[in-house]
Every structure is written in structure tokens, then in C-alpha cells.
């Protein structure tokens, strides 16, 4: 097939545009550093604020920027000088009855339930969201971005990045849970007839 025809076919397979997606973990919070289940109102700590303000992502400016409505993600985006659209599907996984509580506190109060969660965190916390539910909403958002094309940035949370890897490239939930995603860690995905993982880098 001539080169021009091959290029035309590639463009047509994705509706004319390839999608480049960057998913950025929010900067660090005091809750994360002390070992607590995140709460929607958790703010960045001093180190997290400084690192977010200094961060500059490589490459061209994204065409669309979304942020989780959770405080830490919004604050990260604001400190980076990004104008964002709030996207509820990028919100952190819900922790139910354990929201805001220290791991040590939960372990002392209900060691059996805590042990079950450690063994299978994808099952979720009591009254919280399961990984499958999280992956469903994240996957729906990924589908919209794949159809729209262009370069997209989402400022969100480690569990959302794990869910995106599951939804996009089929990474098993148990394997996704074993990926350490530090504050300001970055996942790059691209879509051209299917999602591909381009890179996974620490801050």
C-alpha cells in the first residue's frame, strides 16, 4: 500500500485524530504521608504545594484539561496554573466508613476487615466504592477522550490511574494494585484504534 494511502487509513481509523492522554497524580497531602484513607477535603501539605507550583509538564500545552473535584487535585491544578474543567468521573475512589481514618486506627478497631481489605483492596472498604465501579466511570471518560482526539490532561489520584490502566490496556485489578504511583506521578497513554501505554514515570 502506498505511503499516502496508509497514512490516510490511519487517520480515518481514529476519526481523524490520535488521542494523547496524560494522567497526573495530585501532589502530596498530610493524610497520604501519615497513612490515612483519603477524604475529599484533604488539602496539599507544604511540600506538596511547593512541588505542584514548581512542576512543568513537558511537551505542548494540552487541548483539554480536566481535574477531579477532590480538593487535592483542584489545588494541584491551580498551583500549576492550569485552567481545568471539573470531572466527577476522575474523583478518587470512595472509602465509605473508613474515609479520613488512619490505617492504624482501622486496624485496631477491626483487624479482620482491615486484613480482608489488604488482601483484596479491589473489593473496596465497608460502604465504599469497588475497583470495578471506579473502573467503569473512568473507562467511560476514557472512551469520550478517545473519540474526541487531541492532547488531554487529567489531574487526579493514584487509584484513578490504576483504574485507567485496567480500563485502557486490560491490566488485571490485582496487578494494578501493585503499581506504586507517587504524588505527581505521570501516566501517558495514546489512542489510535486502541489504547497503548506510552510511559509511567515518577514525579
The per-residue pLDDT for range 145-189, each reduced to its tens digit, is 999 999 999 999 999 999 999 999 999 999 999 999 999 999 999
Do residues 131 and 124 touch, judged by C-beta distance below 8 A?
Answer: yes
Which residue ranges form the domains of the chain, and what is each CATH number?
Answer: 18-201 (3.40.50.1240)
pLDDT bracket for residue 202 (50, 70, 90): confident
pLDDT of 65 above 90: yes
Give pLDDT, residue 11. Answer: 41
DSSP state of 24: E
How far, in Å, CA of 23 to CA of 89, rounded? 13
The pLDDT tens digits for 81-117 are 999 999 999 999 999 999 999 999 999 999 999 999 9
Grid coordinates 514525579 are at which residue? 203
Report residue 116 as a C-alpha cell: 480482608
pLDDT bracket for residue 138 (50, 70, 90): very high
pLDDT bracket for residue 9 (50, 70, 90): very low
pLDDT of 3 above 70: no
Do residues 141 and 89 touch, judged by C-beta distance below 8 A?
Answer: yes
How far, in Å, CA of 156 to CA of 74, rounded? 9
Give pLDDT, residue 113. Answer: 96
Amino acid at each position: 500500500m502506498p505511503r499516502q494511502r496508509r497514512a490516510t487509513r490511519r487517520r480515518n481509523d481514529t476519526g481523524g485524530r490520535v488521542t494523547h492522554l496524560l494522567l497526573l497524580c495530585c501532589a502530596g497531602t498530610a493524610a497520604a504521608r501519615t497513612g490515612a484513607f483519603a477524604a475529599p477535603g484533604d488539602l496539599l501539605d507544604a511540600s506538596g504545594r511547593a512541588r505542584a507550583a514548581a512542576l512543568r509538564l513537558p511537551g505542548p500545552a494540552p487541548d483539554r484539561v480536566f481535574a477531579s473535584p477532590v480538593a487535592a487535585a483542584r489545588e494541584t491544578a491551580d498551583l500549576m496554573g492550569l485552567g481545568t474543567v471539573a470531572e466527577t468521573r476522575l474523583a478518587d475512589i470512595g472509602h465509605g466508613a473508613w474515609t479520613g481514618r488512619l490505617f492504624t486506627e482501622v486496624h485496631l478497631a477491626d483487624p479482620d476487615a482491615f486484613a480482608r481489605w489488604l488482601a483484596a483492596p479491589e473489593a473496596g472498604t465497608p460502604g465504599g466504592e469497588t475497583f470495578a465501579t471506579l473502573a467503569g466511570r473512568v473507562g467511560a471518560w476514557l472512551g469520550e477522550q478517545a473519540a474526541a482526539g487531541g492532547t488531554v490532561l487529567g489531574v487526579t489520584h493514584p487509584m484513578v490511574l490504576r483504574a485507567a490502566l485496567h480500563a485502557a490496556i486490560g491490566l488485571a485489578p490485582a496487578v494494578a494494585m501493585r503499581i506504586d504511583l507517587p504524588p505527581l506521578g505521570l501516566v501517558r497513554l495514546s489512542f489510535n484504534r486502541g489504547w497503548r501505554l506510552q510511559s509511567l514515570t515518577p514525579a
